Structure 1
Amino acid sequence: MISLALLPVGLMAILQTRNVTEKARRNAELALLAMVEQSALQERLVIQRAFGVADGIAEIAPEIEGDVDQCTAQLAGIAERSQRFSFIGIVDTEGNMECSSTGTQMNVKESENYYGFLGSREPSISVVSRPSVTRSPVISVAVPILSGDQLDGHVLISIPHHTLSPPEQDDKEAAMALKDIVTFNSKGDVLSFRGGEEFRPERLPAGLNLAALTTDTSNAFSSLNRLGQDRIYSVVPIQNGQLFVLGIWDAQSGLAEQIVGRYPQLIFPILMWLVSLAVVIGAIHHLVLRHVRSLRRQMVRFARDRALQEPKTVNEMPTELREIQTSFSTMAYSIMQDEANLEDAVREKNVLIREIHHRVKNNLQLISSIVNMQIRNVESPEAKEILRRVQDRVLSLATIHRDLYQSNSAGLVNVGNLINEVIEKSVHIGSDQSKPVQIESDIEDIMLYPDQAVPMSLLAAEAATNAMKYVGAANGGDRWIKVSFVAGEGKTRVFHLSNCVGDEPAMQGTGMGTKLIKAFAIQLDAKLDVEDQPDEYALTVTFDAADFIAQAESY
């Protein structure tokens, strides 16, 4: 969103940069073209003077051609006074030259450097590397002699190369960037070259020759030369489509650098966009992000440790964030207060529950004492046995309630401890000193909720009482009882009790213990397996530990 918001500014900067770059490029082109024109000024003046002198001679040629000596003398005087021309001659339409500044008479058609100006009605210019007269490279200017519409011949003027050496540049930087200056005609013939050495085509643009560079207007462009070097080329026409000057510049220095550009046009808008983006991001961080992070740290700390600390920068927050901070602080204090009230309520409820179990335990012990008093007053052995069994069951219930009010495991009861206690108490009450019983136990610490802990403990107590009642030894062997309470796979819990059976006749019981065991198994929703063999009696109870299910009145 920030980038999109800054996009119009970036586009305006791109347009402005492009306009400024285009103006700078155009100014650099004009400067290069002006420097090329200045460098070729001497060639232009000499060649223009040659054309002017040739035009003048063409006007008087019909008058002076009749007298060869007079014509030769006049042409020699013109060449001497100009000090720029090495040769001046008049050629007829057949190529015969009888009048020249050097007195030479010849037919130009037979010359090896004849370039075909005969028959042309337009002025022309060419380069002659080895002329027949001067023997040194010259630039030859040919102007037609016209009598009305009739062509009578041509005036030839030769300009030595050494007279066209370009002047030194005043701008040293520009002089270093300027690599070559080439003067050429419309046919692509090199007329002069800076330094006087032979021109090499490798310096031209790749894929172009001099004839392809002719133009009616001044022009500048960048390109790679045939050697792969980056160059700026500026072309200036200086003589009516007949003469052109080519300037070759190093693209990496001087004014030429402004045409190709040292840096891309997008660099400054991109930099401006990045700076603006950095400013906006810094402002967002200072005004929003750091406060949001501080608020997040407070929330994490409060969720983990219930610790609340006011930030130091609360006065620097924007109004909206300050309101959020205030709302969070109010909510946090309210949550801590509600949790404190809940903890007090839970603590009070636990105290009441423990008090209830404690009172139940005391009442059961009181009932046990009353039953015990009744046992002492009863004379019938059968009645005493029945009352003692009742007393055992009451004491088992009292033991369970004692453990319930002493438990601090979120309502869970260690049933393993309860079973250990009831087994020990049952063995102690029902044991006979003359006939000891060996107890083998494998009881794990298994936690159950009271809904299952109470019936399981009572079931274990009844099973232990029955075992002590009917335990015996075959053939005078040892008497034993094996008890185990272990956790199976998943939530499965297994209680197993077995005892040996002796040869002596078993005591006759009322069957109340068996009925109670079945009732407690139904409460546990357990599977009850009984194995009654001649030498062993085994009881196995298998059930699943129940999860806590809250009652509707708990809410």
Structure 2
Amino acid sequence: MTSGFFSGGLLKGLAVRVLFFLSLALMPIGMIAIVQTWEISSQNQTSAELSLLAVTEQASSAERRVLQEAFGAVEVLSALVRLYLDDPEECSQVLKEYRDVTRNYEVVGYVGLDGLMECSSAGGTVDLSERNWFRSALEHPVRAAYAVRRGAVSGKSVTVVQAPVRENDELIGFMAISIPPSLIETEEEPPLSLTPLAMVTFNADGDILTSERGMDLSGVEMPENISLSVFAGNETKVFFAENTESVTRAYAVLPIVPDAVYAMSAWPEDTPFLQVDLTTRLSTLLPVAMWAASLVVAFWALNRLAIRHIRKLGRQMRRFALSRTLPRDTLAPSIPTELAEMETAFVAMAESILRDEATLEDSLREKNILLKEVHHRVKNNLQLISSIMNMQIRQAKSEDARFVLRRLQERILSLATVHKNLYQDDNLVRVDAKVLLEEVVGQLLKVGLGPKAHVKVTQSFERISIDADDAAPLTLLTSEAITNALKYIPQSSPDAHLDASLRQIDTELAQLTVSNTVSGDTAETGTGLGSRLIEAFARQLNGHVEIESTETVYALKVTFHVPKTAKQTYDY
């Protein structure tokens, strides 16, 4: 019931359809607003990320200056050292003077492809062939920076910056500079609007070079299960990930020395840069709020101007259809003109229907009276004919003549009974077969039993409504069947009986049964006039006759159709 209401009632309502089409009309505007909102939100997100990257760049300014100067130095010294490679002592003296002048680096030296550093600011020869940074440089001869826990010369924790040295495009060695952590720590940083939780630099291999804790990286807010090497490249990136303590952090990554060194800062998830302000949130909800407000206003206006008046008009129409009652009050005076015209047309139509129905009722009443009068007159005429025939029967001289006249009289009285029942019943179209057959059988038994008064008669008729057109053939058929039964019941049999019944055997199917006791010498299948009349009346009823005969019982069964509704009649 509920499913049918929603699928067939509510969804087909005027309000739902109007709101649906209004939603379609507002959809382009809503889509534009949503796209614009998304663009604004995206721009705000981009601005927040740029702000975070800018702060990260400021926070890594000391590392960036030191490392960029170191890379610039190794690039310059790579060109200079080639002039002194033939004289290691002079080469070492030049590099020592450079280190003394700059006073920024621990060691400045040139390392050959064999791993021996014979030209350096420290003098002497140092074997670096087993150092990890040197092996990595041989595998990838590009400029790079490495974190060294213990320097081969200084014995301190340093950051090694190296660049390949080539001659005629052929790799001949590496120029390297070791930077002490104190150099970066002494660099003055600009004041920051926000301070990150952690700040590290790392090389292209993902190895951390510096952090706010120096080379002691324990407790650094590093992203868990993510290798820093995936961020190597020239693109900046802001992402969210869980740290080693499973706390969500925001991370900003940017290159400070292209293709060599990168800086990464860690920030709380609720960093102000990343928070969506109230204006952005409201702008996100604005299209939905506009759509909802439009639907509410449209529904309110539609309900106030049309729907409630249409429903009231519908209730008036249903009340008129059920009780033929005109509306006691009209719709509100402020209703739209179209609805006022509909109400006026309905009231005029209702008044016209009432007048037409009154005229039809008067006409029908007159026709019923006339029709009853016709049936009454026909019944009286048939009874008059029966009385005349009764007089004729008394004057008849032969028994055969009296028998024939009495049979005709019985048939006429049967027809008179039909017309009597028709004019006594208010329903002139259908009659009650039980009342009709009980009266017909009663008349026949009064006249027909005579010397056979000892016969046990049983009547069982169900109340079945039949058409007036079927009443006459059913009555005449029953009369013929009862008459034949009385004719063949033996007078000498003390157990003689006559049974007549009418019952409903299906929705539109009835069966009339007449059975009687017979003697062996009188049992016949019926070949006279009565049998032929029974067959004819059965055909008029659109039925068929079945006869069951034994040595002692003769049964006649007539099965015929009984439509539930009256047969359609045509006025020609």
The bucket for the TM-score relative to the shorter chain is 0.5 to 0.7
| Residue 403 in structure 1 maps to residue 421 in structure 2 | yes
Mark the CA change 1:27 to 1:368 in structure 2 (over 3 Å): closer, same or farther: closer
SS of the residue 2:252 aligns to = strand
**TM-superposition CA deviations, 1:179-209 (whole Å, max 9, x none):** 4211346776644202335347993696654
| Residue 234 in structure 1 maps to residue 252 in structure 2 | yes
Mark the CA change 1:220 to 1:257 in structure 2 (over 3 Å): closer, same or farther: farther
**TM-superposition CA deviations, 1:2-41 (whole Å, max 9, x none):** 5543332233223312331232133222211221122123
2:455 to 438, 447, 458: 438
| Residue 482 in structure 1 maps to residue 503 in structure 2 | no
- Which residue identity is paired with 2:455? Q
Contact kept? 1:90, 1:97, Cα under 8 Å: yes
CA distance in structure 1 between the partners assigned to 2:529 and 2:306 by the alignment: 75
Report the alpha carbon displacement of residue 158 of structure 1 after superposing the two structures with TM. Answer: 4.4
Mark the CA change 1:481 to 1:266 in structure 2 (over 3 Å): closer, same or farther: farther
Partner in structure 1 of residue 556 of structure 2: 540
1:522 to 519, 536, 540: 536
CA distance in structure 2 between the partners assigned to 1:529 and 1:110 by the alignment: 127
Name structure 2 gaps, 5 residues minimum: 1-20, 165-171
Partner in structure 2 of residue 26 of structure 1: 46
Mark the CA change 1:264 to 1:385 in structure 2 (over 3 Å): closer, same or farther: same
245-254 or 364-373, larger mean C-alpha shift: 364-373
Report the alpha carbon displacement of residue 55 of structure 1 after superposing the two structures with TM. Answer: 12
Contact kept? 2:59, 2:192, Cα under 8 Å: no
Aligned pairs for 1:320-339 within 5 A: 327=345, 330-331=348-349, 334-335=352-353, 337-339=355-357
CA distance in structure 2 between the partners assigned to 1:132 and 1:395 by the alignment: 144
Mark the CA change 1:111 to 1:256 in structure 2 (over 3 Å): closer, same or farther: farther
SS of the residue 1:181 aligns to = strand
SS of the residue 2:446 aligns to = helix
Aligned pairs for 1:288-437 within 5 A: 327=345, 330-331=348-349, 334-335=352-353, 337-368=355-386, 378=395, 394-409=412-427, 411-429=429-447, 432=450, 436-437=453-454
Partner in structure 2 of residue 282 of structure 1: 299
**TM-superposition CA deviations, 1:240-286 (whole Å, max 9, x none):** 87654332345564424569xxx999964873586367448735863
CA distance in structure 1 between the partners assigned to 2:110 and 2:472 by the alignment: 144
Mark the CA change 1:405 to 1:497 in structure 2 (over 3 Å): closer, same or farther: farther
CA distance in structure 1 between the partners assigned to 2:389 and 2:127 by the alignment: 162
| Residue 457 in structure 1 maps to residue 475 in structure 2 | yes
Contact kept? 1:222, 1:230, Cα under 8 Å: no
CA distance in structure 2 between the partners assigned to 1:42 and 1:123 by the alignment: 20
Partner in structure 2 of residue 220 of structure 1: 237
Mark the CA change 1:278 to 1:167 in structure 2 (over 3 Å): closer, same or farther: farther
- Which residue identity is paired with 2:417? T
Mark the CA change 1:478 to 1:106 in structure 2 (over 3 Å): closer, same or farther: same
Taking only the aligned residue pairs, the percentage that are identical comes to 29
CA distance in structure 2 between the partners assigned to 1:528 and 1:348 by the alignment: 41
Report the alpha carbon displacement of residue 290 of structure 1 after superposing the two structures with TM. Answer: 5.9
- Which residue identity is paired with 1:405? Y
296-305 or 337-346, larger mean C-alpha shift: 296-305
| Residue 16 in structure 1 maps to residue 36 in structure 2 | yes
Mark the CA change 1:113 to 1:409 in structure 2 (over 3 Å): closer, same or farther: same
SS of the residue 2:455 aligns to = strand
Mark the CA change 1:105 to 1:532 in structure 2 (over 3 Å): closer, same or farther: closer
**TM-superposition CA deviations, 1:146-200 (whole Å, max 9, x none):** xxxxx9x9896744348528979765xx44xx34211346776644202335347
CA distance in structure 2 between the partners assigned to 1:409 and 1:98 by the alignment: 133
- Which residue identity is paired with 2:511? R
CA distance in structure 2 between the partners assigned to 1:162 and 1:425 by the alignment: 139
CA distance in structure 2 between the partners assigned to 1:424 and 1:164 by the alignment: 133
2:181 to 122, 140, 160: 160
Root-mean-square deviation over aligned CA pairs:
5.8
CA distance in structure 2 between the partners assigned to 1:530 and 1:18 by the alignment: 92
Report the alpha carbon displacement of residue 494 of structure 1 after superposing the two structures with TM. Answer: 2.9
SS of the residue 1:484 aligns to = strand
| Residue 41 in structure 1 maps to residue 61 in structure 2 | yes
Contact kept? 1:206, 1:223, Cα under 8 Å: no
Mark the CA change 1:406 to 1:183 in structure 2 (over 3 Å): closer, same or farther: same
Partner in structure 1 of residue 222 of structure 2: 203
CA distance in structure 2 between the partners assigned to 1:531 and 1:236 by the alignment: 112
Report the alpha carbon displacement of residue 136 of structure 1 after superposing the two structures with TM. Answer: 3.6
Report the number of matched residues. 507
SS of the residue 1:255 aligns to = helix
SS of the residue 1:222 aligns to = strand
Report the alpha carbon displacement of residue 404 of structure 1 after superposing the two structures with TM. Answer: 1.9
Report the alpha carbon displacement of residue 482 of structure 1 after superposing the two structures with TM. Answer: 0.7
CA distance in structure 1 between the partners assigned to 2:161 and 2:549 by the alignment: 144
SS of the residue 2:516 aligns to = strand
CA distance in structure 1 between the partners assigned to 2:445 and 2:295 by the alignment: 85
Contact kept? 1:413, 1:448, Cα under 8 Å: yes
Mark the CA change 1:136 to 1:291 in structure 2 (over 3 Å): closer, same or farther: farther
- Which residue identity is paired with 2:232? L
SS of the residue 1:203 aligns to = coil
CA distance in structure 2 between the partners assigned to 1:91 and 1:471 by the alignment: 148
CA distance in structure 1 between the partners assigned to 2:427 and 2:458 by the alignment: 25
CA distance in structure 1 between the partners assigned to 2:414 and 2:544 by the alignment: 23
Aligned pairs for 1:61-140 within 5 A: 85=104, 87=106, 106-107=124-125, 127-131=147-151, 135-139=155-159
SS of the residue 2:150 aligns to = coil
- Which residue identity is paired with 1:22? S
Mark the CA change 1:134 to 1:389 in structure 2 (over 3 Å): closer, same or farther: closer
- Which residue identity is paired with 1:160? P
- TM-score, normalization: structure 1? 0.66
Partner in structure 2 of residue 271 of structure 1: 288
161-170 or 3-12, larger mean C-alpha shift: 161-170
SS of the residue 2:456 aligns to = strand
SS of the residue 1:420 aligns to = helix
CA distance in structure 1 between the partners assigned to 2:231 and 2:481 by the alignment: 121
SS of the residue 1:437 aligns to = coil
CA distance in structure 2 between the partners assigned to 1:518 and 1:464 by the alignment: 15
SS of the residue 2:213 aligns to = coil
**TM-superposition CA deviations, 1:308-366 (whole Å, max 9, x none):** 75898666766556655655555555555544444443333222222222223334444
